[in-house]
Amino acid sequence: MKLLLLIVCWCILALLCWPLAILAVVLFPLFWLVLLPFRLVGIVIEAIFALIRAILFLPARLLGFRR
């Protein structure tokens, strides 16, 4: 559904201002490449927090605590 909405918005932009639509198509992959390292950092930080949480809750799991 998101992709369909994106395509429809791009088509409207192409009808109203085609140079801006072409610029958006060219710059989108570059923008995605710039943001990729930040995404990877976010994944690593999330994994670190999950590891810390697993270590902190390990004694309770070993003693048989259930929610």
Angstrom distance (rounded) from CA 26 to CA 35: 15
Mean pLDDT, residues 4-28? 90
In the chain, where the domains are located: 2-62
Q: Which pTM was predicted?
A: 0.60
Report yes or no: 13 and 24 within 8 Å, Cβ to Cβ.
yes
Instruction: Please report, rounded to a whole number, the percentage of residues in the chain having pLDDT higher than 70.
Output: 99
Length of the chain: 67
The SS3 call for residue 66 is coil
Give the pLDDT of residue 46: 98
Binning pLDDT at 50, 70 and 90, where does residue 67 land? Answer: low
